[in-house]
Structure 1
Amino acid sequence: MQQRLIVRVLLSAWIVVLLGSCSPFSKLQKHGTDDEKYKGAVQYYKKGDWYRAGILFEELIPVLKGSTESEMAQFYYAYTQYHQQQYLLSATLFKKFYETFARSDYAQEAMYMYALSLYKDTPGFNLDQSNTLTATSALQDFINAYPSSQYRDDCTKMILELRRKLERKAYEKAVLYYKTSGFNIASYKSSVIAINNFQKEFPDSEYNEELAYLKFDAQYSLAKNSLETKQKERYQEAIGYYQAFVDKYPNSKFVKQAEKMYETSQKEIERMDKLEKEKQQPKPDPNRPSKVTAANE
């Protein structure tokens, strides 16, 4: 029974191979002339058969080098990979095209498709954003090169979308440092630094109100858990962050929580100032004779 099943499977596989070898595409690929293959590749391309068109164009490009068909073969081949969602490969091919055929009527479109391919390959905000930075740069380079292009508005929209992705990534990073800061002093410091960087990079972000509060909270906690010798300076920095926060967001939902930490910070600074003054006061000399007062008359 098992042997019969194996025979049937092998027979089915042989039939598939046989039918495939007799297909028009297979015949064209094996026996067609370069001219026939090129025309066939264009026909497959126009039908949207990106896979077969791509195979033929890939085989033709080396042999068409220097011919009039070479330019379009490379251009079409790049598109076949784009439509098959091979975005990194299509980006490479489109870039090679506009660098090789800089004077081509399709050079502008190829540069746009290079940037679009990179945009399509960008990951979600929770992953590494190196590709997002590369795509953003490519889109901006296109706008700079072709400021009046029909693709300009699309590029602008994509840049804004990618910046929002970078913004979300930076926000999540800053919040993660804050959430883990309870474990060690270094995380408090990292949280403050990450939020400072975020505020500089994204000054108009919707996350800045929350992050301004978290920065104050992290700095307050840093001061509270620091050595006595560093507490005063760090509480003073925390108060500075508090004042910046309430000045910009006086009606924030975080104000009441921030006020409690602010009051504690002030009290701690006052306590430390008092201790410093006490230390600076001269101590009485135990060897000095006590003051003699005159006897009452």
Structure 2
Amino acid sequence: MQHRHIGKILLGAWVIFCLGSCSPFSKLQKSGSDDEKYKGALNYYKKEDWYRAGLLFEELIPVLKGSTESEMAQFYYAYTQYRQQQYLLSATLFKKFYETFARSEYVEEAMYMYANSLYKDTPAFNLDQSNTLTATSALQDFLNTYPDSKYKGDATKQILDLRGKLERKAYEKAMLYYKTSGFNIASYKSAVIAINNFQKEFPDSEYNEELAFKKVDAEFSLAQNSLETKQKERYQEAISYHQAFVDKYPNSRFLKQAEKMYEISQKEIERLNKLEQEREQEKERLKNLNRPAKVTAAN
């Protein structure tokens, strides 16, 4: 029984192999002329059979070099890879196309599709954003080259989408430093730096109100956990951040919390100023005690 079952499997595999090897596509690949393969590739392309069209175009490109069909074969081949979601490969092929056929009527489209392929390959915001930066640069280069292109709207939207990924990545980075600050005082400093960088890079972000408050909180917490010699300067910095926050967001939902930190910071500065004065007075007192007595000459 087991041998009979294995025999059926082998027979089925042989039938499939024979049918595949006898298919029109297989015959075209094996024995078709270059002209027949080109026409076949175009036919598969029109039917949106990207896989078969891609195989034929890939095979034809080396032999069509220098012919009138070479340009379109390379252009269509790039699209077959794009349609199969092979975005890095399609980006390479579209770039090669517009560099090779600089006078082609399809150069503008190819340059956009190069940038579009890179855009499609960008990762989620929580992953490394190197590809996002590359795609943004490519899309901006395209818009600079073809400012009135029919692809202008799509390219602009894609740049905004990519910028949104970079914005979210920068926000999460700042928040990570903020959330881990309780375990490491250096993270307070890192949180403030990351928030400052975020505010400079994304001045219109919806996250700026929250981050402006977090910056006050991070600097205030840094002051509280610092050595006494550094506390005054850091409380003053917290007050400065608080003032900027209140000026920009006078009706913020974080206002009460920020005000409390401001009041505590002022009181702490007053306390530290008083300590400084007391230390100065004590220094002066000790200085006077140690001063040698004035000697008066006898008459």
Q: TM-score, normalised by structure 1?
A: 0.94
What is the rounded CA distance, in whole Å, between the counterparts of 2:191 and 2:18 in structure 1? 65
Residue type of the alignment partner of 1:153: G
**In the alignment, which residue of structure 2 is the partner of 1:294?**
none
Does 1:283 pair with 2:278? no
**In the alignment, which residue of structure 2 is the partner of 1:220?**
220
Does 1:170 pair with 2:170? yes
Matches within 5 A, 1:117-196: 117-196=117-196
Deviations 1:179-227 (A, max 9, x none): 1111111111111111001000000111100000001100111111111
**In the alignment, which residue of structure 1 is the partner of 2:50?**
50
Residue type of the alignment partner of 2:159: I
What is the rounded CA distance, in whole Å, between the counterparts of 2:164 and 2:289 in structure 1? 71
**In the alignment, which residue of structure 2 is the partner of 1:86?**
86
The CA deviation at 1:157 is 1.1
**In the alignment, which residue of structure 2 is the partner of 1:36?**
36
**What secondary structure is seen at the aligned counterpart in 2 of 1:148?**
coil
Deviations 1:21-76 (A, max 9, x none): 00000000000111111110011001100000000000111111111111100000
Deviations 1:245-288 (A, max 9, x none): 01110110101001111111111111111111111112256689
Mean alpha-carbon deviation: is it higher for 210-219 or for 275-284? 275-284
Count of matched residue pairs: 289
**What secondary structure is seen at the aligned counterpart in 2 of 1:105?**
coil
What is the rounded CA distance, in whole Å, between the counterparts of 1:286 and 1:169 in structure 2? 62
Deviations 1:9-29 (A, max 9, x none): 221111111100000000000
What is the rounded CA distance, in whole Å, between the counterparts of 2:289 and 2:198 in structure 1? 59
Mean alpha-carbon deviation: is it higher for 90-99 or for 225-234? 225-234
**What secondary structure is seen at the aligned counterpart in 1 of 2:122?**
coil
Residue type of the alignment partner of 2:209: E
What is the rounded CA distance, in whole Å, between the counterparts of 1:3 and 1:236 in structure 2? 87
| Structure 2: tracts of 5 or more residues without a match | 292-299
**In the alignment, which residue of structure 2 is the partner of 1:260?**
260
What is the rounded CA distance, in whole Å, between the counterparts of 1:264 and 1:13 in structure 2? 80
What is the rounded CA distance, in whole Å, between the counterparts of 1:188 and 1:286 in structure 2? 44
| Structure 1: tracts of 5 or more residues without a match | 289-297
Does 1:17 pair with 2:20? no
The CA deviation at 1:5 is 2.2
**What secondary structure is seen at the aligned counterpart in 1 of 2:126?**
coil
Kindly, what percent of the aligned residue pairs are identical? 81
**In the alignment, which residue of structure 1 is the partner of 2:5?**
5
Give the RMSD, CA atoms, in angstroms: 1.4
**What secondary structure is seen at the aligned counterpart in 2 of 1:283?**
helix
What is the rounded CA distance, in whole Å, between the counterparts of 2:30 and 2:169 in structure 1? 50
What is the rounded CA distance, in whole Å, between the counterparts of 1:113 and 1:122 in structure 2? 14
What is the rounded CA distance, in whole Å, between the counterparts of 1:269 and 1:45 in structure 2? 75
What is the rounded CA distance, in whole Å, between the counterparts of 1:4 and 1:182 in structure 2? 70
Residue type of the alignment partner of 1:239: I
**In the alignment, which residue of structure 2 is the partner of 1:109?**
109
**What secondary structure is seen at the aligned counterpart in 2 of 1:253?**
coil
The CA deviation at 1:132 is 1.0
Q: TM-score, normalised by structure 2?
A: 0.94
Q: 1:25 to 1:246 in 2, by over 3 A?
A: same
